[in-house]
């Protein structure tokens, strides 16, 4: 299928991109990897009037270690994150998650910023960002992950605001991401990330609600000394996932519990 017509402009700096967004108005969109946007455009479920191509803004493609932080540029491709020795060393969970996004072709194009800004409930990075208290840096401000993901496909980004960087804490303790799916390349029916950080567990859930979820109740139970299988029972506390063709709400809640247990147990 074929997208509807749109205007196209390349930005060579974040400032220019922001100006172009202003110029083309609220129906303009940023084009990074395009792997969420272009299929929607082909189905004509998205019909932006203009695309601002930021792929030429080289400074957005970076991985920097900054003290106890890891700064990932918005244009950094999944494949770069997956193979980065810095990421493998400082936040190996992120490298593993990057390697499980889509397939090789998708990973060669898709970007950190794109996944974060798209805010798909099945996105994997948002879960990690939320559970690790990452910061989302834009051309205008820095937003805490907990304040960023507002609803399904909805973030706190303003109309001319562009994600430039996502800042994660360094964490290289035991960790595991379990992406439960029917096929190797599918998105998560339910995903669970576990990361031990500063002596405590962080647990994040993917695709169990409109936004990523941090399983605080599980974290608290673990902190109080509960065994993984006991703590994991709290993974579905307060969840109200929507059912879909792949899974009923009950099954998703069940998976949240089972996979949380496994993610903690299998963390290395």
Partner 1 sequence: MAVTTMIGARIHRREDPKLVTGHGSYVDDLRQVGMLYMSVVRSAQAHARIKSIDITDAGKAPGVVAIYTARDFKTMISGGLPVTESLIADKKYVPNQFPIAETEVVYFGEPVAVVLASERYQAADAAEQVQVDYEPLPVVVDFEKAMQKGSDKAHSDGPDNIAWDVKFPGGDIEAAFKEADVVVKERILQQRVFPLSMEPRVVMANYVPFGNQLTLWTSTQVPHFVRIFLCFGLGIPESQIRVISPDVGGGFGSKLRPYPEEYLAAAASKLSGSPVKWVETRTENLQATTHGRGHIFDIEVAAKRDGTLLGLKVTNLSDNGAYVGVFGALQSALSLFLAPGCYKWKAFDGRTVGILSNKMSTDPYRGAGRPEAAHLVERAVDLVAHELKMDPADVRRKNFPTEKEFPFTNPLGMVYDSGNYAKTLDKAMQIVGYQELRRRQAELRKQGRYLGIGLSTYVEICGVGPSAATDHVSGSISLVESSIVRVHPTGSVTVAVGTHSHGQGHDTTFSQIVADTLGVPYESVQINHGDTSDTPFGYGTYGSRSLPVGGISIYKSCQKVVDKAKKIAAHMLEAAEADVVFDQGRFHVKGSPDRAKTMGEVAFRAHQTGLPDGMEEGLEAVTYFDPPNFTWPFGAHICVVEVDPETGAVDIQKYVAVDDCGNVINPMIVDGQIHGGVAQAIGQALFEEVVYAEDTGQLRTGTLLDYSIPGIGEIPDLELDRTITPSPTNDLGVKGVGEAGTIAASAAVINAVVDALSPLGIKHVDMPASPDRLWKMMQEARK
Partner 2 sequence: MKHKVATTVNGRRHEHEVEPRLLLVHYLRDNLGLTGTHIGCDTSQCGACTILVDGQAVKSCTMFAVQAEGKSLTTIEGMAKDGELHPIQQAFWDEHGLQCGYCTPGFIMAASYLLSQNPNPTEDEIRKGLEGNLCRCTGYVNIIKAVQTAAKTMGGAEAKPSERAAARRS
Decide whether 130 or 255 has the Cβ nearer to partner 1: 255
Binding mask 27-56 for partner 1 (x = CB under 8 A): ------------x---xx------------
38 contact, one of partner 1, partner 2, none, CB 5-8 Å limit per kind:
partner 2
Short-list 39, 36, 40, 75, CA closest to 59: 75
Phi, psi (rounded to 5 degrees) for 204: -125, 145
Q: Judged by CB under 8 A, does residue 42 bind partner 2?
A: yes
CB of 120 to partner 1, least distance (A): 12
From the list 67, 68, 85, 184, which residue makes contact with partner 2 (rule: CB under 8 A)? Answer: 184
- Contacting range for partner 2; rule: CB under 8 A; set: 17-25, 65-73, 106-114, 239-247: 106-114
Rounded to 10 degrees, the C-alpha dihedral 76/192/178/77 comes to: -10
In the DSSP assignment, the letter for residue 33 is S
Q: Judged by CB under 8 A, does residue 170 bind partner 2?
A: no
Q: Judged by CB under 8 A, does residue 254 bind partner 1?
A: yes
Q: Judged by CB under 8 A, does residue 173 bind partner 2?
A: no
The 175-180 sheet, strands edge to edge: 175-180, 190-197, 200-206, 213-214
Q: Judged by CB under 8 A, does residue 23 bind partner 2?
A: no
d(CA 116, CA 121): 10
Which residues between 66 and 95 bind partner 2 (CB under 8 A)?
79
- Contacting range for partner 1; rule: CB under 8 A; set: 77-85, 128-136, 195-203, 239-247: 239-247
**Interacting residues of 115 by C-beta distance below 8 A, sequence separation 6+:** 36, 101, 123, 124, 125, 126
Decide whether 45 or 198 has the Cβ nearer to partner 1: 45
Q: Which alpha helices (DSSP H) does the chain contain, by range? A: 14-24, 37-42, 78-83, 85-90, 92-99, 104-109, 112-118, 125-131, 145-148, 216-223, 228-231, 249-266
**Contacts with partner 2, residue ranges (CB under 8 A):** 1-8, 31, 34-35, 38-39, 41-43, 51, 53, 55, 79, 102-106, 108-109, 178, 180-181, 183-185, 259, 262, 266
**Contacts with partner 1, residue ranges (CB under 8 A):** 1-2, 4-5, 39, 43-44, 180, 182-186, 189, 245-248, 250-251, 254-255, 258-259
């Amino acid at each position: 299928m074929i997208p509807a017509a749109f205007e196209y402009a390349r930005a060579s700096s974040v400032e220019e991109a922001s100006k172009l967004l202003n110029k083309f108005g609220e129906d303009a969109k940023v084009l990074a990897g395009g792997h969420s946007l272009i299929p929607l455009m082909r189905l004509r479920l998205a019909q932006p009037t203009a695309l601002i191509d930021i792929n030429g803004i080289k400074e957005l493609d970076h991985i920097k270690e900054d003290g106890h932080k890891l700064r990932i540029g918005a244009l950094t491709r999944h494949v770069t994150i997956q193979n980065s020795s810095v990421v493998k060393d400082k936040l190996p969970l992120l490298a593993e998650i990057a390697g499980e996004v889509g397939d090789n072709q998708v990973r060669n194009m898709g970007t950190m910023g794109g996944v974060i800004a798209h805010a798909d409930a099945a996105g994997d990075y948002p879960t990690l960002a939320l559970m690790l208290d990452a910061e989302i840096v834009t051309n205008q401000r820095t937003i805490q992950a907990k304040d960023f993901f507002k609803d399904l496909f909805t973030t706190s980004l303003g109309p001319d605001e562009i994600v430039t960087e996502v800042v994660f804490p360094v964490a290289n303790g035991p960790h595991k991401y379990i992406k439960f799916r029917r096929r190797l390349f599918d998105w998560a029916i339910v995903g669970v990330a576990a990361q031990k950080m500063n002596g405590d567990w962080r647990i994040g859930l993917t695709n169990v609600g409109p936004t990523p979820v941090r399983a605080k109740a599980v974290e608290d139970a673990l902190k109080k000394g509960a065994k993984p299988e006991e703590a994991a029972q709290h993974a579905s506390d307060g969840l109200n996932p929507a059912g879909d063709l792949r899974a009923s709400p009950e099954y998703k809640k069940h998976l949240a519990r089972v996979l949380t247990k496994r993610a903690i147990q299998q963390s290395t």
